[in-house]
Amino acid sequence: MKNIRNMDVEWGYTGETGPEHWHTLCDWFSLGAKYPYQSPVNLTKTLISENTADREITFFYKNEEFTEKEFKNTFHFVPPNTESYVVFEGEKYYLTDIHFHTPSEHTFEGEHCPLEFHLVHMNNSGENLVVGCLFILTKEINKFSKDQAAFIWQTETHQQWFNPAIFLPEQRSHFHYLGSLTTPPTKGPVHWFVFDTVQQMDHDFFQRIDEGMLPFNNRPVQPLNGRKIYFSE
Ligand SMILES: [Zn+2]
């Protein structure tokens, strides 16, 4: 086992560096994997422990600049000014990264969706909160379509201006549970919020950002180990 802690440890989704081996690749990954509540998980309404209204998350998203980057086996929109944030239990978590997984990492009633976007947030103590949004692809007019005046993609540059709220469904009902990062070092705790509404993603827009990406980059579903899943209407 390599006794290093850096971003250079190679990991992937198949073979000897695949998900079942991540915890053996270095001490840092090994430590993260020891957190008992790992992500993703299967989400099903029959497992809901309590139907509570106090698991509310409030979005304070703004139109801001995002830089397109490719690292950690996927495509990312990174906001250099981190102006958008959410509030959960009185704590501010700033949006630091948007990326996607194909197929979805979370499953609904055991079923994957073709696509899951993660909006990754961090508070001032370095704790993570991730919002998961599941999608199917469509060629019909949708909110990500090129011709939608509210949303013009600059495909020539790697800079974009948009309001990250575009990734959120109108219907804000969501699952909430305590989990981990789904990529090495898979550390926790991470507050997860996953909308139960499956949205439509523009085929052409997605094809552009998916170009050259791995055919699949989803970590398999992890055991619940007795943890609670919450659902807010
Ligand atoms: Zn992710």
Question: Residue 1 — pLDDT band, cuts 50, 70, 90?
Answer: very low
Label residue 55 by pLDDT band (50, 70, 90). Answer: confident
Distance 76 CA to ligand 1 centre (A): 10
- Is residue 77's pLDDT more than 60? yes
| Residues 164, 99 within the same domain | yes
Residues spanned by the domain of 141: 38-232
Same domain, 13 and 114: no
Give the three-class secondary structure for 77.
strand
pLDDT for 150 equals 61
Mean pLDDT of 38-46: 93
20 and 74: one domain? no
Give 50's pLDDT tier (boundaries 50, 70, 90): low
Distance 96 CA to ligand 1 centre (A): 12
Q: 119-157 pLDDT, tens per residue? A: 999 999 999 999 999 999 999 999 998 877 666 677 677
Whether residue 7 sits in one domain with residue 108: no
Q: Percent of the chain having pLDDT more than 70?
A: 92
CB 83 within 8 A of CB 96: no
Distance 99 CA to ligand 1 centre (A): 6
CA of 57 to the centre of ligand 1 (A): 19
How close is the Cα of 74 to the center of ligand 1, in Å? 9
- Our count of domains for the chain comes to 2
Ligand 1 centroid to 15 CA: how many Å?
20
Q: Do residues 21 and 57 share a domain? A: no
**DSSP states along 99-125:** EEESS-SSEETTB--SEEEEEEEE-TT
CA 217 to ligand 1 center in whole angstroms? 9
Q: How remote is the CA of residue 223 from the centroid of ligand 1, in Å?
A: 18
Q: Give tens-digit pLDDT for 180-216.
A: 999 999 999 999 999 999 999 999 989 988 988 889 9
18 and 57 assigned to the same domain? no
**Selected residue with higher pLDDT from 205 and 117:** 117
Q: Is 93 exposed, middle or buried (0-12, 13-18, 19+ CB in 10 A)?
A: buried
Q: Which of 70-74, 204-208, 219-223 has the lowest mean pLDDT?
A: 70-74
- Looking at the fold, whether 105 and 11 belong to one and the same domain comes out as no
| Least confident piece of the model among 34-43, 97-106, 143-152, 183-192 | 143-152
40 CA distance to ligand 1 centroid (A)? Answer: 9
Q: Are residues 83 and 14 in the same domain?
A: no
Distance 2 CA to ligand 1 centre (A): 25
Q: State the Cα–Cα distance between residues 151 and 138, nearest whole angstrom.
A: 17
pLDDT-derived band of residue 14, with 50, 70 and 90 as boundaries?
Answer: very high
